[in-house]
């Protein structure tokens, strides 16, 4: 008698264990169809608050709500069965106190079934990260460029170009590592510093605009596919160029509708002849 054992979804502990073993693969995901296509190929999917800019046309991630993150997190969970799913906690939903962070994170985990949450912040958020991890909520940290702080940092730019920035990012990464995060995203940080931090922390680093020496990489899926064309950061590579194909399909559809060549007989329901 054979017993079928269902394959389990990767967990934060599995991601952490990959440090030193092989590079970790991650992409953002926001919808069920994309999650289905992505699931066999990535270690973890990040339901990033980047969806505010990519899907909703916001100028920054600051306007994203918990409800938006939950809705898209549920969609990604429905479309995946292999990858670990991590959901961003949006701006204003966790910074006030560690208790607020726990309430938000617990709600996100309960309502989506995801495996972990991500929050931005360095030394100032270490106590919160420790508080969450001690209470059963795995946390993906995020240091370097922090998009949620765009209103105080003065724009999107690479960091680590002066001694003050270098020392801050070093301390931030060390603090989040010690606080118990299972991995740390390093964003928009000069290559030598990201490489150094990767060698110094115990947990995996996930680079985005950082270093090939990071333990893994993450990109926004719409950037990878060449769909999001508002701007292209230096660290982005278009692995496909879907935007022109989509535009051509829309144009062809419009032409055929206007010419009444679509729908054709094969696209309609006919009465059966008696």
Positions marked active-site = 187
- Nearest C-alpha neighbor of 225 from the set 206, 244, 208: 244
- Nearest C-alpha neighbor of 74 from the set 60, 58, 85: 85
Residue 81 near residue 115, CB atoms below 8 Å = no
273 labeled part of a ligand binding site: no
88 labeled part of a ligand binding site: yes
49 labeled part of a ligand binding site: yes
Output the CA angle 222-86-10, nearest 5 degrees: 110
- Nearest C-alpha neighbor of 242 from the set 252, 234, 250: 250
Region for 205 from its dihedrals, namely left if φ exceeds 0, alpha if ψ lies in -120 to 50, beta otherwise: beta
Strand 44-47 and strand 24-28: the pairing is parallel
Residue 89 near residue 116, CB atoms below 8 Å = no
Structure-block tokens of residue 218: 């993450």
Strand, helix or coil for residue 138: coil
H/E segment holding residue 46: strand 44-47
Map tokens 């510093």 to a residue.
Answer: 193
Q: State the binding site.
A: 49-50, 88, 118, 120
- Please enumerate, by residue number, every residue annotated as part of a binding site for 3-methyl-2-oxobutanoate: 49-50, 88, 118
Which residues line the annotated binding site for Mg(2+)? 49, 88, 120
């Amino acid at each position: 008698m054979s017993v079928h054992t269902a394959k389990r979804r990767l967990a934060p502990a599995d991601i952490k264990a990959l440090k030193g073993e092989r590079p970790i693969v991650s992409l953002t995901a926001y919808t069920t169809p994309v999650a289905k296509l992505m699931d066999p190929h990535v270690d973890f999917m990040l339901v990033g608050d980047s969806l505010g800019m990519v899907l909703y046309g916001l100028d920054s991630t600051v306007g994203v709500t918990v409800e938006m993150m939950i809705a898209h997190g549920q969609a990604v969970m429905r479309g995946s069965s292999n990858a670990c799913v991590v959901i961003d906690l949006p701006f204003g939903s966790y910074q006030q106190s560690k208790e607020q962070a726990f309430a938000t994170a617990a709600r996100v985990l309960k309502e989506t079934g995801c495996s972990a949450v991500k929050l931005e912040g360095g030394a100032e958020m270490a106590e919160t990260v420790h508080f969450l991890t001690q209470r059963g909520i795995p946390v993906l940290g995020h240091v370097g460029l922090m998009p949620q702080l765009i209103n105080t940092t003065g724009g999107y730019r690479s960091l680590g170009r002066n001694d003050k920035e270098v020392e801050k990012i070093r301390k931030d990464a060390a603090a989040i590592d010690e606080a118990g995060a299972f991995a740390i995203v390093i964003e928009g940080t000069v290559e030598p510093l990201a490489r150094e931090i990767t060698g110094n922390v115990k947990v995996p680093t996930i680079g985005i605009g950082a270093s090939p020496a990071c333990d893994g990489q993450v990109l926004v899926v719409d950037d990878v596919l060449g769909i999001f064309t508002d701007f292209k950061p230096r660290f982005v590579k278009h692995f496909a160029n879907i935007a022109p194909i989509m535009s051509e399909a829309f144009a062809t559809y419009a032409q055929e509708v206007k010419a009444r060549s679509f729908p054709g007989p094969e696209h309609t329901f006919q009465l059966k002849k008696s």
